[in-house]
Structure 1
């Protein structure tokens, strides 16, 4: 599938002029942005998502130039396990939040990146059904599943474009209950009822 401006991860239209090349390459500049960079080690960089879709939303990226999951090989397992360990540490640092670690099946941004994202989805940047479905459907692939697939098969099978588009177009549904709101504003208002109860707003 070609990249589309509506395919979540980041809405870089507004900053495209500030980044070299196509907007989909924006993560490369974000990795060097001192306002976004959180930490780094020999193989990875952790940044704040420039357009966070939840109260906690980080991206963990490899320093190696890996464009997407389809380029992963077995030799990348130590890298992925390190990324996973960093994500788990962030989870431990936020004990009162439900946090998931994973990858978009068909990422719009050109650099492999693992999302570390809390499940409150309390963000003004969460605007569209595609945003929502990209994190709450099977379009969002758990990091543990990617590691297991790479260990077993030595590669990651890319999700078919039709499947990906179907997941992103799924009707809205709360990820905590059976409610199926008609609009994003209705969904976001409803989400607050869950997270006020849990004390995680």
Structure 2
């Protein structure tokens, strides 16, 4: 293909790093579930459950570790959004929280149904990031922010231990050998 001005421009455009994908998703009308003056709620592109939404501030706050006491009102607004989503999805048990070690840029709260049934749930790390202390519940984060004005980061050795924690059903005492076994078992809870 001959080099033209158009395809030269495409080649020279800087690629956005994958960790910035949420910021781009906030602009995608197909992913936007709702928005307010300060918040955007999007559908997760790779949902790990039947319901998986992300609540993001329009302000550029990188993670829970960048929150200060000035952000309590914003986090309380996240909680109001969670209550609204719970009312809209009365037939699902929903959890709201933050990853202790987020992989994506931009503060985001997950609202995720307890079923954890999804083709996008593929690895032990995916599972453990929502079913161990790697998932910091919304109420705990809000309480910590109110009390200390900041959120304490998880120690690296604790992170390593939690991400390799053996699989266990989040709804009963079943202990599967692998993810396919776990996924098959989760269907019994529907």
Specify if TM > 0.5: yes
Structure 2 residue 94 is matched with structure 1 residue 93: no
Equivalent residues of 1:53, 1:125 under 8 A apart: yes
Structure 1 pair 135–19 and aligned structure 2 pair: CA distance change class (3 A): farther
Structure 1 pair 19–99 and aligned structure 2 pair: CA distance change class (3 A): farther
- Paired position in structure 1 for 2:37: 42
CA distance in 2, matches of 1:93, 1:36: 17
- Paired position in structure 1 for 2:5: none
Structure 1 residue 19: deviation in Å?
9.2
CA distance in 1, matches of 2:14, 2:42: 16
**Alignment gaps of 5+ in structure 2:** 1-12
- Paired position in structure 2 for 1:32: 27
Aligned pair partner of 1:81 in 76, 85, 97: 76
CA distance in 2, matches of 1:28, 1:51: 15
- Paired position in structure 1 for 2:3: none
Q: How many residues align?
A: 178
TM, length-normalised to structure 2: 0.91
CA distance in 2, matches of 1:87, 1:81: 10
CA distance in 1, matches of 2:186, 2:150: 37
- Paired position in structure 1 for 2:119: 124
Equivalent residues of 1:19, 1:29 under 8 A apart: no
1:1-201 paired onto structure 2 within 5 Å? 20-195=15-190
CA distance in 2, matches of 1:146, 1:117: 16
TM, length-normalised to structure 1: 0.86
User: What SS does the aligned partner of 2:182 have?
Assistant: helix
**Alignment gaps of 5+ in structure 1:** 1-17, 196-201
**Structure 1 residue ranges (4+ consecutive) displaced by more than 3 angstroms after TM superposition:** none
Q: Report Cα offsets for 1:47-66 as digits up to 9, x if no partner.
A: 00010000000000001110
Q: Report Cα offsets for 1:131-182 as digits up to 9, x if no partner.
A: 0000011110110110000000010001112211211110100111111101
